[in-house]
A and B are shown apart, each in its own frame.
Chain A
Amino acid sequence: MANVLIKGGRVIDPKSKLDDTFDILIDENKIAKIGKKITKGDVRKIDARGKIVCPGCIDLHCHLRDPGRPDEETIESGGRSAVAGGFTTICCMPNTDPAIDSEGLVHYIYREATRASLCRIFPIAAITKKRAGKEITEFGELVNAGAKGFSDDGDVVADSNVFRHALEYSKIFNVPIFEHPIDENLAQKGMMNEGLVSTRLGLKGSPAIAEEVIVARDLLLAKFTGAKLHLCHISTKGSVDLIRKAKKEGIGVTCETCPQYFYFNDEVLASFDTNYKVNPPIRSEDDRQAIIRGLRDGTIDCIATDHAPHCQAEKELEFTSAPYGMIGFETAFSLIVMELINKQKFSWAKILSKLTVNPANIINEKLGVIKKGAVADITIIDPKKKWKPTLNTIQSRSKNTPLLDRELIGKCIGTIVDGEIKYYLED
């Protein structure tokens, strides 16, 4: 394995509180040295001047459609897309076909991930058998096989008693329960956020309260059980307020939001572009502002992508017939740079904590840090790079993003996983 020397980048690691220009020497799969002006012959050198060098980013929430829909994504194509977006670790949700609810399927994910050899892929296993919401899966066997958490994502666990038992049982293994907080009865299969824009467009709305009702229920259950609750894709002001209050009370909850919820507001739906149809829906400007405040004050722990590939034929339908979801790996950093860094003036350290140390802690992994001896998972970001995602350049097998052919700022240019360069974009 060739050694790598990353020269002259601004090294930012929220965990070890690094933020300075350093060289980093990688030996085999470990960080061997961090210092000023490291010289070494016979190494692959990466010129990182003007770039951000940070711990490999971790996405707690993505959909790889594998097994089941290889036309939309596979472990390999998803992995390729992830490393192109700067993610060295991704957690894939179990709403596949079949659902990841057995030891064998967890092994399958690991096997495919090893074969693809792109990034670390950790399965989140189903909370309930076949994701049917009735009986909990064999958490013990699944954790033993490598599941890092449990979720019925795509569906809420509607039965409060089942969810209570899942939370209680997870305590044996100290793993998080990832909830998809949407009350399906209130959401009524809504196409977009319920509000002024849905009223204008005549599209069925999914109200913010559909999310908040479940967030409130789950926070009570988390308090009651003392288990680790992780709330997925938080999108509303009410949810942020509830979670903020719960954290003050000391309830063991973490949560994530996604770039689409801090970058867009529901006005974009007036285009009827089905790529904006996501679940939960893109919310109002008030909600968007509240999400940004939640990111700023630490209420929101993580930024995840909810990367959700769909084939062109499914998205090229009239709005009501198209499925929910947009791809997200490759554009995540652009939306972070354009909105949170450039407009909202977040510090890089704060942003990166939500992509490195925080998600690593949630899944109990010793990743997401740059220090001597640590595993060499590293992401290099060019915060000024202008680029356009195009049909030809998107690595995901699916192209369902409203950002297609739009000029973006900020891009991952290098991704190193376990000491190996898995993605590098020459200038």
Chain B
Amino acid sequence: MSPKKDLLGIETLSVKEITQYLDLADRFAAVLERPIPIVPSLRGKTILTLFFEPSTRTQISFSIAAKRLSADIVNFSQVTSSVGKGETLLDTAKNIEAMKVDGVVVRHVAPGAAKFLAEKLNAFIINAGDGGHEHPTQALLDLMTMRQHFSEFKNLKVLIVGDIEHSRVARSNIYGLNTLGAKVAICAPPTLVPLNIEKLGAKVFYNLDDIIGDFDVVMALRIQLERQDTGLFPSIREYRTLYGLTKERVGRMKPGSIVMHPGPTNRGIEIDPDVADSDKSVILTQVKNGVAIRMAVLFIHCGGRLG
């Protein structure tokens, strides 16, 4: 199967395409366990990470992934918030083109920004998060982590808790999980539930205590503290009371179930420290799998061949 030039989102991926990423990531995960965890697959290739939003783990994860594949990696970050400041995305794109990089990993606050670059550049584009739209490598690493814990996706019950409205992680996971046959639900205050989300394949709940015992996976999302100012919920305290993953709540989850979080966590708000550090938590496994997934993604889109 010849891959598409870019990875912009999970929405349009088939079961076969998702599985290809996951299978390859499993192989790279094994590489990462070796004493010298490096392969020469992408020697001579140049990859640029272009981050217009603050990020630590995603950019580092891509950098490490590229280094493990022997690619040259150049990191650039510039936090911009509004129109007309500095160089436009189009100019940035043209400059990149002139410097002849092979691939660009981009994060931007505007939905569609990765697609915008993909249409302008010959280099392949990996979307590392475009506003509230998609974050495909995060969803893939989440799927990889779930697959390590459960035999199959069919009928796997996954609950995503938190700010769904603004979450690209939620959207990418909803797409991927539905494609793979899992059952997805969300739980959030109605003010943070986007219109018609159920039509994307997510049952909607408002009361976490009623349902937390029904799920194999509970994924908490980071709550942006500044949302409180826009009146979407009255206080952090009330948010924690209603939607926080406390030890008591997690204690009522199914045996064998897991707790996930895409990070970075607000400890003591959407997830309590003793839950984040508990046996149920796979948060650090997610981070670890992130490198393998990004190796797989870079490898496939860079046209690497398996030796």
Chain A residues with CB under 8 Å of chain B are 194-196, 198-205, 207, 272, 313, 316-321
Contact = CB atoms under 8 A, between A and B. Distances in A.
A201 B133 contact: yes
A313 B132 CA distance: 25
B64 interface: no
A320 B132 CA distance: 11
Nearest to A188: B230
Contacts of A313: 88
Nearest to B80: A321
A321 B197 contact: no
A317 B195 contact: no
B199 A202 contact: no
Given A202-B131, A202-B133, A202-B168, A320 B110 contact: yes
Given A316-B88, A317-B83, A202 B108 contact: no
B195 A318 contact: no
Nearest to B175: A200
A313 B83 CA distance: 11
A318 B116 contact: yes
A272 B195 contact: no
B194 A318 contact: no
A321 B82 contact: yes
A33 to B, nearest CB: 56
Q: How large is the interface on B (under 10, 10 to 19, 20 to 34, 35 or more residues)?
A: 20 to 34
B115 interface: yes
B88 A203 contact: no
B131 A203 contact: yes
Contacts of A319: 110-113, 116
B109 interface: yes
B194 A317 contact: no
Question: Chain B: interface secondary structure?
Answer: loop
Given A317-B83, A320-B131, A199 B194 contact: yes
Contacts of A200: 11, 171, 200
Contacts of A195: 195-196
Given A203-B132, A316-B90, A317-B83, A194 B111 contact: no
A201 B196 contact: no
B111 A203 contact: yes
B109 A320 contact: yes
Contacts of B168: 202
Most buried by B among A196, A272, A318: A318
Contacts of B110: 318-321
A317 B196 contact: no
Nearest to B230: A188
Interface string B187-218: 00000001111011000000000000000000
A320 B111 contact: yes
B111 to A, nearest CB: 4
B142 interface: no
B196 A272 contact: no
29 contacts: A194-B195, A195-B195, A196-B196, A198-B195, A199-B194, A199-B195, A199-B197, A199-B199, A199-B200, A200-B11, A201-B111, A201-B112, A202-B131, A202-B132, A202-B134, A202-B166, A203-B112, A203-B132, A204-B132, A272-B112, A317-B83, A317-B88, A317-B89, A317-B90, A318-B113, A319-B116, A320-B110, A320-B111, A321-B82
B6 interface: no
Contacts of A272: 111-112, 115-116
Contacts of B131: 202-203, 320
B102 interface: no
Most buried by B among A204, A205, A272: A272
Given A321-B82, A321-B84, 7 more contacts: A196-B200, A199-B194, A199-B200, A201-B112, A202-B130, A202-B166, A203-B111
Nearest to B88: A317
B77 to A, nearest CB: 17
Contact of A202 (B83, B89, B111, B195): B111
